[in-house]
Structure 1
């Protein structure tokens, strides 16, 4: 099969976040910016945005043959990872899965959730707008996720301060896929 250079992809992506269950933009709106009233742009990123889908298949086995006759999907984990280049308090609230923000004359503040017992986390959805084949737009929607890895922020005199983040995706419902990819076409 010859190389089709139209299938080569390069370029940045823009990340948006919204509350779990927020209405998704229509597939036909793949080239449009999501509604700012529902979707918050997380700002600049550094070192790209990485989507990982980790699938585990368990082999089937029978006594009568030595070959593995097949396998079944037994686990799937999917994540979005990036470094947010805008380490704002608003972004920190998303990275820590909620908290309390306040502002007053001359200040803004943030405190993480600090309940003394296990609580239901605040799930979000992530929308990634990037590039797909044929130099057209590609949208990836992770429908239910949590920031579920360590969040780091380093202050150094010779490098930019970033927030590292990894969102893990979760099961939504029997009739709703956990994520969706939409490609624009001409």
Structure 2
């Protein structure tokens, strides 16, 4: 197979957050900015935006054959990972799955959500626009996410402060898949 340079991808993605169940842009609107009423741009990121899909397979075996006879998908973990470069209180609230932000004359505050573990967490959705082959656009929509890792906000002399975020995808329903990827194609 010959290498097709048009299939090589490089470049940043723009990350948006929305509420769980937010209206998704039409597939045909791939080259348009998502509606501001449903999706908010998180601003700059560092080290890219990663879609991570981890599949776990169980082995099928029989006594009579030494090789693996087959495999079955038993688990899938899908996540979106990034470093939010804009360390705003709004982005901090998103990274911590909610909380309360408020502002007054000359200040803004954040207080974390302290609901009991028996209540449902504040799921959200994430969408990012990047590049596809042939210099066209790719949109990834992950429909139900929750920030699941620890959040660190490091202030150091020689490094930029960022919010490192891992947004873990969750099952939506029998008829709605966890994520969707849309690529532009040349007509």
Instruction: Kindly indicate whether residue 74 of structure 2 is the aligned counterpart of residue 84 of structure 1.
Output: no
Q: Equivalences for 1:167-186 in 2 at 5 Å? A: 167-186=167-186
Q: CA deviation at 1:67?
A: 2.7
Q: Equivalences for 1:68-83 in 2 at 5 Å? A: 68-83=68-83
Corresponding residue for residue 11 of structure 2: 11
Q: Equivalences for 1:103-182 in 2 at 5 Å? A: 103-182=103-182
Q: CA deviation at 1:69?
A: 1.9
Structure 1: runs of 5 or more not aligned:
none
Mapped to 2, the partners of 1:174 and 1:61 lie a distance apart of 30
Q: CA deviation at 1:115?
A: 2.6
Mapped to 2, the partners of 1:76 and 1:164 lie a distance apart of 22
Mapped to 2, the partners of 1:43 and 1:160 lie a distance apart of 15
Partner SS, residue 58 of structure 1: strand
Aligned length: 186
Q: What is the Cα-based RMSD across aligned positions, in Å? A: 1.1
Q: TM-score, normalised by structure 1?
A: 0.96
CA contact (8 A) 1:13 1:130 kept: yes
Q: CA deviation at 1:40?
A: 0.5
Structure 2: runs of 5 or more not aligned:
none
Q: CA deviation at 1:104?
A: 1.4
**Deviation readout 1:65-104 (Å, 9 max, x if unpaired):** 3332211100000111111110000001100000111111
Mapped to 1, the partners of 2:128 and 2:110 lie a distance apart of 26
Q: CA deviation at 1:119?
A: 2.2
Q: CA deviation at 1:117?
A: 4.2
Q: TM-score, normalised by structure 2?
A: 0.96
Instruction: Kindly indicate whether residue 41 of structure 2 is the aligned counterpart of residue 28 of structure 1.
Output: no
66-75 or 121-130, which deviates more? 66-75
